[in-house]
Amino acid sequence: MTEITPDAFSREWDYALRVYAQPGVAEACLLLQDRAAVDVTVLLHAMYLFTANGIALDDQALAGAEARVEAWRREVIAPLRALRAALKSGFASIPAKLVEQTRQKIKAAELDAEFAALGTLSMDAGMDQGSPASTASSTDLLNRVLELYASNVPSRERRDAAVREAVLCLQNLLDKEDRG
């Protein structure tokens, strides 16, 4: 197995960090994660391939990407995220400063775990097939990502106004990147 290092997929990692730092994107991604059960790592991977490589992942490729990281997300990332969230409001009988230090270490471990998931997707990107981005729209790609996770949440939550607004934010970003 190939070792995953920052150099091995630095362009995709840099893209993910740059995009996530754009105004409104972090909030949009987290909303899609919380309300539509979207794996943000899979989402960012699909967005990267769309803008950088001109590939709009099809349903099968998205499902394959999801399958490669699903157990890791469920068994590693999600428990770290839940633990970090649980410590956000403090912990009775433990000094707040110590709780926050622990929470920050857990946050770093969560980021490392997401790095590993994105690295896996990046290293396996040759397995991902799709159509040329020139023949697919950003809306189509984002809707395919939402549909991939659709069975995990009620339809009213997937398509509420906040989810639509989050998708629009990402769509605008993809369209801007595509023209850029």
pLDDT tens for 47-100 read 999 998 888 898 999 999 999 999 999 999 999 999 999 999 999 999 999 999
Distance CA 163, CA 111 (A): 24
DSSP 9-53: GHHHHHHHHHHHTSTTHHHHHHHHHHHH---HHHHHHHHHHHHHS
Distance CA 79, CA 71 (A): 12
**Cβ neighbour number for residue 76 with a 10 Å cutoff:** 18
- What's the whole-number mean pLDDT along residues 38-50? 94
Please determine, for residue 179, whether its predicted confidence score (pLDDT) is greater than 70. no
Question: pLDDT class for 137, splitting at 50, 70, 90?
Answer: confident
Please determine, for residue 2, whether its predicted confidence score (pLDDT) is greater than 50. no
Question: pLDDT class for 150, splitting at 50, 70, 90?
Answer: confident
% of the chain at pLDDT higher than 70:
84
Amino acid found at 54: G
Question: pLDDT class for 165, splitting at 50, 70, 90?
Answer: very high
- What's the whole-number mean pLDDT along residues 24-36? 94
Q: What is the pTM of this model?
A: 0.88
What are the residue boundaries of the structural domains of the chain, listed by start? 6-179
Report which of residues 178 and 84 the model is more confident about.
Answer: 84
